[in-house]
Structure 1
Amino acid sequence: MNRSTEQHLQALGNDGFVLLPGVLDSAQVKLLRHAIDGLQAFHWDYSGGLIEHYKCVFNRDPLWLAFLDLPGVIELAEAALGEDCHIIGQTAWRCHPGYQGMSLHLDYLMMDVAPALMADPAFELPMQICTVQLYLDDIDADLCPTRVVPGSHRAGRAPRKNEQSWQGRPPQVVLCQAGDALVFRSELWHAGSDNRSADRSRYLLQVHYGRRMVAQKFSPYLHFQFNPAVLAAATPRQRRLLGEHAETEYD
């Protein structure tokens, strides 16, 4: 494990999140924005309102494959979740002016844990899922900044209704540049923010990684089929991320 990956992994353990600068270059940002503009809603996707959300974009075109194993990101995901981790989703978003952000929440908690145990510095809850948010805009206070509560992954529970801080720590606004990536654990308390800009839409690509035994649930589920063009273009590592694993006791 290189030094930067080790430092980023430590930040995920201490704070529950880490911001990686300059993961994408300007050409990649432009490419992704254009690709998101061309997406069509399917199954549980939604579009046409103040927010657009597109699931399983990895399966629509080989273009999206390169963003499953970006340098600096995939090494962190594998260090956190194991070298046999895989993706459990890749989602694209556009949030338009007037969009109202989500309240404080966590994405997934493997189990509720007693506060006394979580407070023990020697105890570490194993990470099962992490999310990478690839920002395709310069994010300022008006353009839907993500808010994170440092250390809240150690709460051992989800935030209660109307709860706005953890151990006196309020949400911290993540301001960053187009091409930066925010990586956070699924137990981290986080929230979206309103789009208060007059004429800007926030573009975002997410990749969700899970441990080998975290199920891949790709909509439309029983009717899901891999795109042959995507499989043909995928590298061995990308095929593993899509679910081509070595045999285990449960397969």
Structure 2
Amino acid sequence: MEVNEILQMNKESWEKSAERFFGRAALPEYGPLAPREDQLNLLGNISNKTVLDIGCGSGHSLKYMAINGARELWGLDLSTKQIETATSLLHDQPVPVSLFESAMEEDPGLPENYFDIVYSVYAIGWTWDLKQTFSNISCYLKKDGIFIFSWEHPIHDRLSYKDSEYIFQKSYVKEGPELNEAWNNTAVTYQRKFSTYINTLIETGFSVEKIIDDVVLPESITDDPAKWYSAQKAQLVPATFIVKAKKR
């Protein structure tokens, strides 16, 4: 599949599914069955900071940033519907808001050496060019600026529930684009090893400060073990990983 075909396929899939994700996978949450920002305090003091959300979705993470004192809110997202929703959600914020409909691999005209914090909650794995995306983010950030992102742990969808047990049905070490099973094969994401994310950060000018793949389980585990993000599965492998890095 060509890159433009992948982007178009993913955009069409998101336009159809966007409403299902409004308000989900947004700060202070970093992802399924993972610690929250109010437990981790990765962002630190947000007051008077200029922030950029990569894959801003419906704008709820940006609203969280505004509530906590951010000076400027910037975001980009591939989906027209998501940008429209974020625009509506943030229209009454007392700080400047700038939103761009764009793939994260492309620079829609964002300022360089400008942002104190760039973050991405459950979106980075959609990029078809991780190095270009991380290079862009490095350019956007001030020196010593913070980049925090979360994504589905790359071992999570390698494990499937079948005949009352979990089994490995896909290779963890084989990297590349795949039709996404969780999206009923209507979208393409990339399988990358965990080391690929970390090494690419280092190659693009970041120092890794913290890696989190802790699991937070509910008090009572009663959900369907075949569910995509089930607590039973999370007892074996983490659903989410979180990385905090600093621009060198």
Give the structure with the larger helix fraction: 2
Does the TM-score normalized on the shorter chain lie above 0.5?
A: no
Larger RCO (CA within 8 A; separation ≥ 6): 1
Question: TM-score of the superposition, structure 1-length normalised?
Answer: 0.29
